[in-house]
């Protein structure tokens, strides 16, 4: 793949056809188009047929990560010198959209967030060791921030890391860890200085979990939605981790590191939210054309048409907004306030659109095997992921 600033709507082929923007470079547009075709074919042939099984077992199969790595679907925006695809966030957008349009729950964006931490703060040796294995799917990455008594307020974490010679000794519990079931490399937020006020004593330590004494996983948690994506509790009981695994090399920088990479995660959530809304409208439009009531298609009822018109308009506004955010992110000038706006408004919009679309399906929409029902339960957590939308509003309000 090629580095460069790429609009996300270049060569897009979505469930809801849209006029493409004029690409600044035809070669880059073609590259994105070919990458999208590759990812789309892979997701539909390898992931979609396994969704029922993944939901039953509450996690994807381990080999799914290896297969995704083999086609370059993981770490598409990490430099090739570290085993990544060498592309930009535009390539990651392709992956996010194709997964969302297919209704597949697969936390490749968390894999990328872990890679972003390592790329930004890891030593050269760590980059050469961990990033290629993450890109190949040999390592599954996770970020462990939340605890039973500390969510968005990272200052409230209790997990501690006490230095003992050339190791840290970790003790604590992390909850709601996405990809925790398979995770082989976990970026863990810990207190290295419990006496420091607020967030100043927080550090991020990378933990390799294979055959690691004192580390254990809880069973995948029972969630309302996202059933095919594993979420676990992780336990650290006198876990010894080399001091060299401290990200950034200096204690107390963990909060700023998390904050610095949070825009990446929140923008990824916003991209997925728009794609889900688009998919919901496309699925529902087909349903109301085929479904008859009172002797005519549901689409012939004014309420149906007006509801879908409203949903399509909201999805289109969301598309324009998120594409502009991605362009600005690629150019390096996307600010925290706008990311907060995008994450909050687009996930709220996603939930409104999906709920209206489910209503138009009637009783069929409430059946678990129907795609719109899965969208409905899966989309709800987007308003919580990456910090709840109420916090996004606080961030925005601070700018007023």
List the structure tokens of 42: 């892979």
**Residue 332 main-chain phi, psi, to 5 deg:** 80, 20
Torsion (CA) 310, 6, 70, 206 in degrees, nearest 10: -90
Please report, for the chain, the start and end positions of each structural domain, with discontinuous segments joined by +: 26-136, 141-252, 256-397
Cα separation, 325 vs 266, whole angstroms: 11
| pLDDT on residue 177 | 95
- Given 265, 278, 314, 350, the catalytic residue: 265
**Average pLDDT rounded to a whole number, residues 378-383:** 96
Q: Which residues pair with 191 in a beta bridge?
A: 160, 202
What percent of the chain clears pLDDT 90, i.e. is strictly above it? 84
Percentage of residues in the chain having pLDDT higher than 70? 94
Residue 144 · residue 188 · CB < 8 Å: yes
Residue carrying structure tokens 């990456």: 386
pLDDT of residue 149: 82
Q: 130 with 206: CB under 8 angstroms?
A: yes
Pairing of strands 185-191, 141-144: parallel
The rounded distance, in Å, linking the Cα atoms of 45 and 35 is 16
Cα separation, 98 vs 276, whole angstroms = 10
What is the rounded distance in angstroms from the CA atom of residue 81 to the CA atom of residue 103? 32
Domain spanning 256-397 has what CATH number? 1.20.140.10
pLDDT tier for residue 293 given thresholds of 50, 70 and 90:
confident
Look at residue 156 in the predicted model and tell me its pLDDT. 87
CATH-assigned architecture of domain 141-252? Beta Barrel (2.40)
Q: What is the DSSP string of 142-172?
A: EEE--BTTBSS-GGG---EEEEETTEEEEEE
The answer to whether residue 141 scores a pLDDT higher than 60 is yes
Predicted pLDDT of residue 5 = 33
Query: In DSSP terms, which residues pair with 207 in a beta bridge?
Result: 186
Q: Is the pTM of this model over 0.85?
A: yes
**What is d(CA 266, CA 392) in angstroms, rounded to the nearest whole number?**
10
Q: Interhelix angle for 108-121 vs 254-290, to 10°? A: 160
pLDDT in tens, 58-114: 999 999 999 999 999 999 999 999 999 999 999 999 999 999 999 998 999 999 999
- pLDDT for residue 20: 36
Neighbours of 291 (CB within 10 A): 15
> Whole-number mean pLDDT of the chain?
90
pLDDT at 25: 63
> What is the distance between the terminal CA atoms of the chain, rounded to a whole angstrom?
41
Task: Report the sign of the C-alpha dihedral through residues 110, 115, 120, 122, in that order.
Answer: positive
Q: What is the mean pLDDT of residues 256-264?
A: 92
pLDDT band at 220 (very low <50, low <70, confident <90, very high): confident
Q: From the CA atom positions of the chain, what is the Rg in Å?
A: 21
Short-list 356, 395, 389, 392, CA closest to 372: 356
Structure tokens that stand for 173 in this block: 């519990």
Token digits of residue 181: 């079931």
Residue for token digits 């190949």?
136
Task: Give yes or no for residue 13 having a pLDDT over 70.
Answer: no
Which pLDDT does position 16 carry in this prediction? 43
C-alpha separations of 349 from 180, 270, 298, 321, 354 in Å: 29, 10, 24, 12, 8
Architecture of domain 26-136 in this structure: Orthogonal Bundle (1.10)
- Looking at residue 4, its pLDDT comes to 35
Q: What count of other Cβ atoms lies within 10 Å of the Cβ of residue 124?
A: 8
Given pLDDT bands bounded at 50, 70 and 90, which one contains residue 24? low
Task: Give the closest residue to 351 by CA, choosing from 224, 227, 222, 178.
Answer: 224
Please enumerate in sequence order all residues whose Cβ is within 8 A of that of 308, keeping only pairs 6 or more positions apart, or say none.
281, 284, 285, 288, 299, 357, 360
Q: What is the pLDDT of residues 145-187, one digit of tens each?
A: 999 888 778 888 999 999 999 999 999 999 999 999 999 999 9
Q: In whole angstroms, what separates CA 328 from the centre of its chain? A: 19
> φ and ψ at 235, to 5 degrees?
-120, 135
Q: Which residues pair with 117 in a beta bridge?
A: none
* SS3 of the chain: helix, strand, coil, percent, to 5: 55, 15, 30
User: Which residues in 182-200 are b (16+ Cβ under 10 Å) and which e?
Assistant: bbbbbbbbbbbeeeeeebe
Distance CA 80, CA 75 (A): 9
- The reply to whether 147 belongs to the active site is no
């Amino acid at each position: 793949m090629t580095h460069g600033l790429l609009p996300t709507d270049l060569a897009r082929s979505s469930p809801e056809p849209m006029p493409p923007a004029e690409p600044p470079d035809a070669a880059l547009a073609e590259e994105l188009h070919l990458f999208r075709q590759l990812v789309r074919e892979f997701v539909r042939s390898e992931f979609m047929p396994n969704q029922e099984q993944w939901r039953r077992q509450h996690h994807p199969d381990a080999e799914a990560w290896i297969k995704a790595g083999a086609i370059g679907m993981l770490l598409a925006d990490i430099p090739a010198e570290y085993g990544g695809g060498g592309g930009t966030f535009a390539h990651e957008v392709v992956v996010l959209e194709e997964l969302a349009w297919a209704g597949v729950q697969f936390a490749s964006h968390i894999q990328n967030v872990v890679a972003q931490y390592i790329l930004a703060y890891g030593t050269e040796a760590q980059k050469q060791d961990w990033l290629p294995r993450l890109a190949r799917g040999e390592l599954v990455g996770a970020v462990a921030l939340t605890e039973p008594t500390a969510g968005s307020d990272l200052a409230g974490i209790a997990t501690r890391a006490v230095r003992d010679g050339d190791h840290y000794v970790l003790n604590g519990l992390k909850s709601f860890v996405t990809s925790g079931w398979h995770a082989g490399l976990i970026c863990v937020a810990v207190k290295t200085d419990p006496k420091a006020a607020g967030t100043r004593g927080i550090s991020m330590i990378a933990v390799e979990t294979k055959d690691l004494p004192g580390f254990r996983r809880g069973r995948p948690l029972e969630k309302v939605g996202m059933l095919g994506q594993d979420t676990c509790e992780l336990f650290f009981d006198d876990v010894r981790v080399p001091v060299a695994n401290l990200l950034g090399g200096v204690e107390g920088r963990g909060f700023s590191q998390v904050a610095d990479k949070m825009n990446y995660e929140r923008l990824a959530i916003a991209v997925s939210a728009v794609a889900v809304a688009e998919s919901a409208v496309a699925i529902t439009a087909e349903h109301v054309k085929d479904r008859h009531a009172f002797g005519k298609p549901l689409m012939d009822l004014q309420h149906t048409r007006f509801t879908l018109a409203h949903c399509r308009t909201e999805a289109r506004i969301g598309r324009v907004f998120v594409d502009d955010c991605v362009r600005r992110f690629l150019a390096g000038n996307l600010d925290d306030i706008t990311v907060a706006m995008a994450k909050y408004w687009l996930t709220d919009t996603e939930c409104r659109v999906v709920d209206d679309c489910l209503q138009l399906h009637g009783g069929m929409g409430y059946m678990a095997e129907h795609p719109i029902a899965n969208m409905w339960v899966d989309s709800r957590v987007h308003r919580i992921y990456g910090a709840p939308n109420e916090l996004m509003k606080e961030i925005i309000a601070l700018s007023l």
